[in-house]
Amino acid sequence: MPSPPDSAPSARGAPPSPATASSAPASPAQAPAASAAGRQFPVATAPRTEGAAPAARPGPACAMPSGDAGRARAMIDAVLPAVDGGRFAVKRVAGEPVRITAHCYTDGHDVPRAMLQWWRDEGDAAAPAGPAAPAEVPMHPEPNDEWWAEFTPPEPGLYRYTVVAWVDGFESWRRDMERRVDAADIRVAARVGAAEARAAALRAAARSAPADARLLEGWAETLEREALGQDNAQPLKALALQEAAAEAMRRHPDRSLETRHATALPLRADRERARYSTWYELFPRSTAPVAGMHGTLRDVESRLPAIAEMGFDVLYFPPIHPIGRVQRKGRNNTLTPEPGDVGSPWAIGADEGGHQSILPELGTAEDFRHLVARAREHGIEIALDIAFQCAPDHPYVREHPDWFRWRPDGTVQYAENPPKKYQDIYPFHFETGDWQALWQELRSVFAHWIGEGVRIFRVDNPHTKSFAFWEWVIADIQREHPDTIFLAEAFTRPKVMHGLAKRGFTQSYTYFTWRNGKQELADYFTELNTAPGRDYFRPNAWPNTPDILHEQLQGGQPAMFALRFVLAATLSANYGIYGPAYELLEHVPREPGSEEYRDSEKYQLRHWDLDRPGHLRPLIARVNRIRREHPALQADHSLRILPVDNDMLLAYLKRSPDGRDVVVTVVNLDPHHAQSGWMRLTPADIAIAAGDPPAADWLMHDLLSQQRFVWQGERHYILLDPHRAPAHIFAVRRRVAGAGDSDPFQ
């Protein structure tokens, strides 16, 4: 993420120029010195070709490394994860371990060592004031010169990490000593070790470790004395390899020729709700207890117990601001509104105010604060839609005409995506010469609602606004409020969606709505959980939205609504539904071939009979309870598609980070007919950890039907009738040796 230019105030001053924000690589954070001596560390670079001097050619000679850099022999080729080489932040969750790997090696046969360093980014307003030494974690070697270590960011915020490596003279000496058999060689090597120990004793003393200094000095004297006085070298070798001295040596290595990886990589640690959330969308104006009345924020409060009982933890509202009267749309998106038509909430702004105001019919700012507090009591957060666009009568149009694009006929260019036209919406002109004032004003919209208690924002069509703006504003908001979550509603090209995620959006809408077949679902969610995208793109799956009624739902089959719901809630740790319409199986399109709802809430009030027969509320509540009780469903990266020999059955497995919770979901993708097939699930698939002995049999507990099955072997028969149950959600329970007959499964 780019930093504001030096001339800009760090908190609320002018934002960076678009060129700086969108294209300049992030400057690595200046890590504090790794020792009191403040050594300068060589930086890992591409290796230089050795050999005969090349023929003379024009241009300056290649510069040799400065200082001691040429003496440093440890190489660091890669530190992972890294998003675009460190240009953008990796995303993780505070309080959970982050695994870092590095490719480190050296020339010859000496032993390298590597250390992970991490620290809170000082540009984060929530970070402790003043520079602090980086925390260090020793890295562990794996085959093929790969090293790994973990660190745990304690709280939300921006962090940096890097890797340092050096050739460890002591470990190289000790490894060779273990192999030595010749007595003369052992005695000479012992004297070399004594010199290493004396140098380490001096380092220990300088670091205020007197006990280690005395131990190492005494060990050095003993090694020297025994090397000169013993004929039998075996006791001397045992003395050289004693573990207590080795541990002291490892605490005080010689890192004077340390190599530091070239980049301090950024990591954004979010709060848990960024990884796992359950969204319910409703229009507050459609919550009135009587048909034909305009709902209020107080009416929404009456819905909170039912929404909480269904298991939702995020309640998302479309825009709640004053709605423009000029060019207002009528019912079903007509251009000729009737008296009393309420217009689209996304046509923001009128005489009553703009993006920081509340539609008077909904209530007051005090009503909103009261709703936020009541929702919190039910374990629910309020999420607001942020749509950076204006109705023709928004105050911004009068006060800042240069923030909009004007046509030759003297009118403002309204939003359009030919042949679609949105005459009631004016987009902002992000190329305006007054762009800095525009950016600051839009930032103030987020700041206002944060002040009202909101920490989650769903951003409407972010791909139609400046990418440089998003990168700056999200970073600047999260610098002061690290717990803020941004969901990108961008149904657009994959690289654009990924570009927004890289630039800071916490979660992203997906193509789930249009992925319906077995293979395309399997391929898509495997892709979402594969590097490099898995390190920054958090999917949020929605089977419907106010804008999207997919043709699969237009038949109105309860089984189709149920199976799409189960897929969204179990394939993705973050999912949402456009609530009343989905739970009541609303399925009639505006016209054939359209994905728009007929009598859409976007343009009119609706009164929902939430208790009408056939609603999905029991299934929704059951699945959300399963999600809460099973950590395996609260993250995405463990997803694994399981083989089934029927193309209408999709099966997949998820496991918790500790491996103890394993959930297997099987969904019948055919809403009309029962489907059967053989699924492959092996004992090794459900092992808690690699190397665990395989279970002879295990219990599959269907959390939807409460049926239990004991499975053995690798192939298992599945039969799903969509009219009875569209899916199995199995909790896997392993047999515990010696547990007795009452409950032998864990």
Catalytic residue status for 341: no
Paired strand residues for 712 = 697
Q: Helix 233-240 to helix 183-206 angle, to the nearest 10 degrees?
A: 30
568 close to 636: Cβ distance less than 8 angstroms = no
Q: Which two tokens stand for residue 482?
A: 């690290």
Q: Which two tokens stand for residue 719?
A: 């039969």
Round to whole Å and give the CA distance between 146 and 163. Answer: 12
Q: Which two tokens stand for residue 704?
A: 């939807």
Round to whole Å and give the CA distance between 267 and 86. Answer: 9
Round to whole Å and give the CA distance between 401 and 577. Answer: 37
| Catalytically annotated residue among 381, 489, 586, 670 | 489
CA 396, 507, 615 angle in degrees (round to 5)? 95
Q: H/E element holding 442?
A: helix 435-451
Q: H/E element holding 190?
A: helix 183-206
Q: Which of 677, 678, 675, 673 is nearest to 720 (CA)?
A: 675
Q: Helix 233-240 to helix 169-179 angle, to the nearest 10 degrees?
A: 150
From the centroid of its chain, how far is CA 355? 28
Paired strand residues for 93 = 270
Catalytic residue status for 367: no
Q: What are the residues whose beta carbons fall under 8 Å from the beta carbon of 202, sequence distance 6 or more? A: 213
Round to whole Å and give the CA distance between 188 and 204. Answer: 25
DSSP states along 676-727: EEEEE--GGGG-SSTTPPPPSEEEEEETTT--EEEEESSEEEEEE-TTT-SE
Round to whole Å and give the CA distance between 137 and 245. Answer: 21
The DSSP symbol for 43 reads B
The DSSP symbol for 47 reads P
Say whether the peptide bond before residue 532 is cis (omega within 30 degrees of 0).
yes
Helix, strand or coil, per DSSP, at residue 381: strand
User: Hey, which residues are catalytic here?
Assistant: 460, 489
